[in-house]
Structure 1
Amino acid sequence: AGAWVMYMLNQAAFTWGFTIFVNPLADEFGWSRTSITIAWALSLTWGLLLGPWFGRFFDRHGAKPVMAIGGLLGGLGWVLLPTVESYWTFLACMVLLVGAGINGAMGPSIGSAAIAQWFKLRRSLALGLYFTGSGGAGLVLIPLMGALTESHGWRASATALGLTAFLLTAIVSPFMRHRPEQHGLKPDGDAAPGPAIAKPRLWDFAARLPLPRHRPGLERDFTLAQALRHWPFWLFTVAIFLRYFGMGITQVHQVPHMLSQGVGTPIATAVLSVSLIVNIPSRIAVGWLGDIYDKRWLLNLLAIAGGLALLALAWAGPERVGLVWVYAVLWGVGLAMLPLQAAWMADSYGRKHYGSINALSNSFALFGRVVGALGAAVAYDLFAGYTAIMLLGAAGFGVGALLLMALPAPNPMPGR
């Protein structure tokens, strides 16, 4: 529950919430979208560079100190942001504070590592529940941020966001725990399946789909050096990079794109919230299915949904405004890939060094968001539109799916 709350804050305070501030910043300061996106990209990049260090720190000390650092730095960045009067002070707050805190210490690599320590048999489902935090952000925090920005301006919204970060960090971080073995427990509570026959359930048909099954193996703990010499690690990372390229386009520019296409601010904010709300049951369902079926096949089905979503958003226009709702639903389904990604990494490389291995992979893969966001900003400033870059993002989902099909099943450790 604690990791879920902090992930919800991460999603509202940067990943999906930042798009609300793009137009107000451009209107007040006269900054181009490229300039604003550069600040966003540098903030994310700084967090990704710090990610492996925070991952190693997590492996040694657990989630409690890491999340406390993240909440304090990120909250301070958002509280100070309304005081800026120049681009350089804006950049300092976004990069040094929000980047280190929200994107580095509170990034999904740390939260998913905390979850992966406590689950093995139901790891994918547990991660699916954790990643519904983005839906919580879309249901609670982002609509409040949008309403506050509309009624009192972006400075009030940013201040409230920073204070919320302080409050949630103070409530959650003291209760975070590291590995179950440190508390006399084992993953999944060391519960063996009982002999009782379960009663038929309405959704049991989903466990009988004609897809390759997940075959759990023995726990294998790679070191970081061994993972880096394992070619599936890099193939998987590149495939996820291509998907994050498409995500980077929307995370900063989906609201500006909809506004430029004649969609009003309330509807644009609602579309963002709907996509994140749809994502809640999608991630739970996909997490449950990931403990039954081969995660690579499920990831490819979600890639189709993500690619179609970007096509719908790209083609939305004054006479096709309804396509934004198609985008909202398909994008909410396509974003359900995150629990499968994190679970595949834990299944393949074990729990002992998961924090550092997953953080390094994410640091490379998440750079796709930087490339996508900057590419979209440049495309808008050059061509006054986002359509071409969104079509390119849809293609990235397709190529990523092909790479995932080439992944082998989890292999034994190198040299064994």
Structure 2
Amino acid sequence: MAAGSFTVGWRQVAASVITLALTALITGSYSILAVPLGEEFQPSRMVLMLAMTLVSAVSAVLSPIIGKWLDRADLRIAAGLGAALLAAGYVAISFAPSFNVVLALYGLLIAPASTLLGPLAATVLLSRWFVKRRGTALGIAIAGIAGGNFLFPPLIQAMLGEHEWRTALQLVAVMVLVLGTTAAALIVNRPAERGLYPDGADAEPDSADANPNAAHIPTRTIIGDPSFWLIGIVVATVTAGLKGMVTNLGSMANDVGIDRQAGAALLSMYAVSGFVSKLAFATFSDRIRPHLTMIGSLIGYGCGTLVMAFAADSYVTLVTGVCLMGFFGGMMMPMESYLVPRLFGREVAGRVGGLLNLLLLSFLLVSPPLFGFIFDRTGSYAVIFMVFTGLAVVSMALVRFIRTEPRRPSLDGAAAS
């Protein structure tokens, strides 16, 4: 098969970049939206962060269900539905009379949209289209999250500067619909629909993750694998810290005396760091051992959280910590999507990813309000960043026990049983 004929495969990467950028709009821009929401409704810092907790809680419950559905669903419908829910959520929030209604809308509309548009769907789609270049494809796609974190915060801040916050959210909804429908139009569910094979090869790759029996693996076999839990713990250590930091970053900047535009610039620095890290992952992940990538990520991320613990009085220190966490933490984010089809098979990438998301999102449930709670009690974020520095050290010790290759005989045996 000619290499040029695989252009449609890279269009799936482009579609995933767009959908993942939209998920960044939800979390990465919340610290910008939290300021006018806080001024309008006057909740405590902890209650203000509960919106992100609700998104994580509902997504955790829905992930196993949606993940299993994505393994057999039309992914174009999933992307279109996710964009429609996200747009509807922002329009509805723009009419909210109280912060309780805002919280309910984040749970009922924004959270399902996040699951339908997020890494789970991208993993299912790209694991079908790529095998040998899967790390490259996933790294580029997940860079869409960093791209969204770079583009959307200053854009939304500019909208808030020109319009009242309710009108600005309605404009955001229009943007979401345009981007979401564009992504859905690019999606082709499987290479076979275009007479192709993964990676544009001349035949189906001889890969363990193509094992057809994998579709029949019992859930108890998946959750009984120690690597399932270890991946969840290590990845959650990073993602929970990143989410807590990002959702509180606007408030942290405000506490230090930084104006809103400079606060939005911090989010853009974080996004640029994350974007570069995803491209680094795309470049090297198919060439080096996953263990080395995880260890390097945790070392740099731990240094970043340590710097953030001392960032209360210095803008330069704050920038340094944000960039370290963004770059090295960002290298961990594609790891779940990279390992799931590799260990369990691409036919169950959605189901395994959904179960793993249930574990990961359970950690993310408490992260944003925990940051706010510690601040409310101590007047500082130093304690919580020190906690995550310790968790990074513990995670480094766990990495060596994570299996990075499939257990093909056990998968076949589980299916036969």
TM-score, length of structure 2 as denominator length: 0.88
Shift of 1:218: 6.5
| Aligned residue in 1 for 2:34 | 22
AA matched with 2:100: W
Change (3 A) 1:186 1:328: same
Residues 1:248 and 2:248 are matched in the alignment: no
Q: Counterparts of 2:111 and 2:185 in 1: how far apart (Å)?
A: 23
AA matched with 1:169: G
Q: Which runs of 5+ in 1 are unaligned?
A: 193-215
**Comparing 23-32 and 1-10, the one that deviates more:** 23-32
AA matched with 2:120: S
Residues 1:7 and 2:28 are matched in the alignment: no
1:365 to 347, 356, 360: 360
1:83 to 95, 120, 123: 95
The number of equivalent residue pairs is 390
Identity of aligned residues (%): 22
Q: Counterparts of 2:223 and 2:193 in 1: how far apart (Å)?
A: 28
Map 1:4-403 onto structure 2 (within 5 A). Answer: 4-12=17-25, 14-101=26-113, 103-190=114-201, 219-220=210-211, 222=214, 223=217, 225=219, 226-318=221-313, 320-334=314-328, 335-403=330-398
AA matched with 1:322: V
CA deviations on 1:112-166 (whole Å, 9 max, x unpaired) are 2211211000101110000111232133222101222234243233222211111
Shift of 1:220: 4.2
Q: Counterparts of 1:317 and 1:281 in 2: how far apart (Å)?
A: 26
**Comparing 56-65 and 152-161, the one that deviates more:** 152-161
Q: Counterparts of 1:170 and 1:292 in 2: how far apart (Å)?
A: 35
CA deviations on 1:15-57 (whole Å, 9 max, x unpaired) are 2111111222112211111112122201221122111211112
Q: Counterparts of 1:394 and 1:150 in 2: how far apart (Å)?
A: 36
CA deviations on 1:165-205 (whole Å, 9 max, x unpaired) are 1111222213311121333211101159xxxxxxxxxxxxx
AA matched with 1:90: V
Q: Indicate conservation of the 8 Å contact 1:219/1:347, yes or no.
A: no
Q: Which runs of 5+ in 2 are unaligned?
A: 1-13
CA deviations on 1:256-294 (whole Å, 9 max, x unpaired) are 112212222222211110121122222112122110111
Q: Indicate conservation of the 8 Å contact 1:236/1:403, yes or no.
A: no
Q: Counterparts of 2:45 and 2:312 in 1: how far apart (Å)?
A: 20
Q: Counterparts of 2:399 and 2:164 in 1: how far apart (Å)?
A: 44
AA matched with 1:9: L
| Aligned residue in 2 for 1:199 | none
Q: Counterparts of 2:388 and 2:274 in 1: how far apart (Å)?
A: 20
Q: Counterparts of 2:145 and 2:227 in 1: how far apart (Å)?
A: 28
**Comparing 238-247 and 66-75, the one that deviates more:** 238-247
Q: Indicate conservation of the 8 Å contact 1:248/1:368, yes or no.
A: no
AA matched with 2:15: G
Q: Counterparts of 1:115 and 1:338 in 2: how far apart (Å)?
A: 15
Shift of 1:323: 0.9
Q: Counterparts of 2:278 and 2:228 in 1: how far apart (Å)?
A: 23
Shift of 1:219: 4.3
Q: Indicate conservation of the 8 Å contact 2:339/2:404, yes or no.
A: no
Higher helix share: 2
Shift of 1:331: 2.1
| Aligned residue in 2 for 1:197 | none
Q: Counterparts of 1:312 and 1:261 in 2: how far apart (Å)?
A: 15
Shift of 1:329: 2.3
**Comparing 260-269 and 111-120, the one that deviates more:** 260-269
Q: Counterparts of 2:367 and 2:392 in 1: how far apart (Å)?
A: 12
Moved over 3 A (4+): 216-222
AA matched with 1:113: V
Q: Indicate conservation of the 8 Å contact 2:32/2:250, yes or no.
A: yes
